[in-house]
Amino acid sequence: MLSRALWLHRAGYAVMLIDLPAHGESGGEQITYGIREGAGVRAALAELRKRAPEERIGVIGVSLGAAALVLGRPQPAPDAVVLESMFPTIEDAVADRLELHVGSWARPLSPLLLAQLPLRLGVSADALRPIDHIAQLHTPLLLIAGEQDRHTRLPESERLFAAAAEPKQFWPVPGAAHVNLHDFAPLAYETRVGAFLAQHLHRVTAGLPSR
């Protein structure tokens, strides 16, 4: 997230970068695909509001970080949200990765892996469905997806966008896979995302990229 943070800083925003639970230097032993990581997002937003109570807050979440925001369902909601490369359901995420790494024949095997979630993590597959909660964000949304992303395929991102509430925007990035989209198309990214944040945050100085 460093390239995004440096760009936001140059644009005049104050930026908070966080390590989600069980990531980086944060405590925790298990990654839970966004459900428990949502507590980290809520804590970061609470800290931002404590430090800058008069400012509007924007969030940029990428992949699991995006899912953590949606599954965390923070209240009050941020004033603007950018979600990148987010899976709609854990079923989609597992099946896509099986196909990517093993082959299309392996997609039917995904239930065998999903059945382990309650045993290994104490989390059910039903709890890991960002598509069921994206309409509850109640904030302006910019959804971004790589057109060539095989971890979260474009039709899956289109389903997410259809499920989201207005106001919303969708930007499929031509030629991009499941990569750092800011690094992939920096000028287009800064133009699109910068305009979105400026529209909804105005002259405010609080932002939260998270992954």
Model pLDDT, residue 205: 43
pLDDT for the residue numbered 208: 52
- Taking each helix axis as running N to C, give the angle between helix 186-201 and helix 2-10, from 0 to 180 degrees, rounded to the nearest 10: 60
53 upstream amide cis, omega within 30 of 0? no
pLDDT value, residue 206: 45
Classify residue 97: in a domain, yes or no: no
Query: What range defines the domain where residue 29 resides?
Result: 2-88+128-210
Residue 184 domain-assigned (yes or no): yes
**What pLDDT score was predicted for residue 168?**
98
CATH label of the domain that carries residue 185: 3.40.50.1820
pLDDT score recorded for residue 210: 46
| Count of domains observed in the chain | 1
- What's the start-to-end Cα distance of the chain, in Å? 7
Q: CA–CA separation, 152 vs 88, rounded Å?
A: 8
- Cα 125 to Cα 26: distance, rounded to the nearest angstrom: 24
The pLDDT mean for the chain works out to 93
What pLDDT is attached to residue 99?
A: 93
Cα dihedral value 204, 139, 78, 12, nearest 10: -30
- Does any domain span residue 95? no
Question: Is position 99 within any domain?
Answer: no
Cα→Cα distances 98→9, 62, 90, 152, Å: 38, 21, 12, 12
Angle between the 64-72 and 37-51 helix axes, to the nearest 10 degrees?
A: 80
Residue 160: inside a domain: yes
- In-domain check, residue 123: no
Q: Does a structural domain hold residue 121?
A: no
* Regions of the chain short of the pLDDT cut 50: 204-207, 210-211
Contacts 24+ apart (CB under 8 A), 155-158: 156/87, 156/88, 156/92, 156/96, 157/86, 157/88
114: helix, strand or coil = helix
Q: Is 159 exposed, middle or buried (0-12, 13-18, 19+ CB in 10 A)?
A: middle
**Res 28: pLDDT:** 85
Instruction: Tell me if 114 is assigned to some domain.
Output: no
